[in-house]
Structure 1
Amino acid sequence: MQAPALPANEAERLAALYALLILDTPPEQRFDKIVEFAAGEFDVPIALLSLIDRERQWFKASTGLDVCETGRDISFCGHAILARDIMVVPDALEDPRFAGNPLVTGAPGIRFYAGAPLVLPSGAALGTLCLIDRRPRTLDAMELGILATLRDLAVLELGRAEGGADD
């Protein structure tokens, strides 16, 4: 297993995240609807809107997972924010970055992961909209486009975030 590296702009990225005042806020329908749609559209048991904090990844919205955060050191999303493209891991057991990861070898049993980085206009990647499955799989070009569109919607909503629930 490989812990994710820190982005070159980590200080600016964290400042942008903290400026949103969104960490540890209650669920919001606008984000919940995006992850629920993603899970249904892609037929995956887990979809998350994950924000990468200094030492953890925190889930602003999730479906199919009973925890609200995990350590950043074991997060797939920590790897995904290092690039601007969608990161697809067809089979985590065959990827040296993740094969020994406790999220792969134990619950929730991740095999497939696709994470679309949530990048603000400033260039700060705050987290991901991600899809997780317990079986290996891939995404075709059309599916990647749909995931990118859903990610863009999530980024627009993050831009409107003021730290309070809307429902």
Structure 2
Amino acid sequence: MITPSRPDNEGQRLAALQSLLILDTPPEERFNQIVEFAAREFKVPIALITLLDTDRQWFKANIGLGTTCQTSRDISFCGHTILRSEIMVVPDAHLDVRFHDNPLVTGYPHIRFYAGAPLVLSTGYALGSLCIIDTVPRDPATIDLAMLSTLRHLVMRELEPKADAA
């Protein structure tokens, strides 16, 4: 397993995340609807909106992981996702050196397929991801990455403060 590195702007990224005042807030229908739609549309058992705090990956919205509301950031797939500008796709985690022995792959929830769209503020700070997960390998050609990107933009519209709201 390869632990995700931290972005060069980690301090500013965390400050931007904290300024949203969203960590550890109760579930909200506006975010739940997005992950419910993603799970249904992509026919996956798990869909999440994740936010990466200092040492944890916290789930703002969660379909398929029951009452689990966070994992360690060190084992998160999304920790790798925020280091990219494009959607990260892992067709089979068992075959990927970054994840093959990750406890989220070898144990519950038995991740095999992952696609994560980074959630990036207009200031450029990546907060987390909108991701879809399956317990079987998937051919990335069958995933409509444009739709996942559109759903990501819906999440960001809800997360990012409106500049003209003042």
Shorter-chain TM-score bucket reads over 0.9
* CA–CA separation in structure 1 for the residues paired with 2:40 and 2:54: 31
The match for 2:153 is: 152
What is the Cα deviation at residue 140 of structure 1? 3.1
* CA–CA separation in structure 2 for the residues paired with 1:17 and 1:99: 30
Letter in 2 for 1:88: V
What is the Cα deviation at residue 58 of structure 1? 0.1
What is the Cα deviation at residue 159 of structure 1? 1.3
* CA–CA separation in structure 2 for the residues paired with 1:142 and 1:96: 22
The match for 2:41 is: 41
Deviation string, structure 1 residues 32-56 (Cα, Å, up to 9, x no partner): 0000000000000000000000000
Summarize the Cα distance change of 1:151–1:94 in structure 2 as closer, same or farther, 3 Å threshold.
same
Do 1:88 and 1:138's aligned partners in 2 also have CA atoms closer than 8 Å? no
Is there any run of 5+ residues in structure 1 with no aligned partner, and where?
162-167
1:140 and 2:145 are equivalent in the alignment: no
* CA–CA separation in structure 1 for the residues paired with 2:147 and 2:141: 10
1:111 and 2:107 are equivalent in the alignment: no
The match for 2:16 is: 16
What is the Cα deviation at residue 160 of structure 1? 4.4
The match for 2:84 is: 83
The match for 2:103 is: 102
RMSD value, Cα: 1.2
Do 1:46 and 1:133's aligned partners in 2 also have CA atoms closer than 8 Å? yes
* CA–CA separation in structure 2 for the residues paired with 1:35 and 1:78: 19
Letter in 1 for 2:48: L
Question: Is the partner of 1:147 in helix, strand or coil?
Answer: helix
Deviation string, structure 1 residues 92-119 (Cα, Å, up to 9, x no partner): 0000000000000000000000000000
What is the Cα deviation at residue 139 of structure 1? 2.9
* CA–CA separation in structure 1 for the residues paired with 2:42 and 2:143: 11
Letter in 1 for 2:26: P
Identity of aligned residues (%): 63
TM-score for the superposition, normalised by structure 2: 0.94
* Higher RCO by CA contacts (8 Å cutoff, separation 6 or greater): 1
Do 2:49 and 2:129's aligned partners in 1 also have CA atoms closer than 8 Å? yes
TM-score for the superposition, normalised by structure 1: 0.94
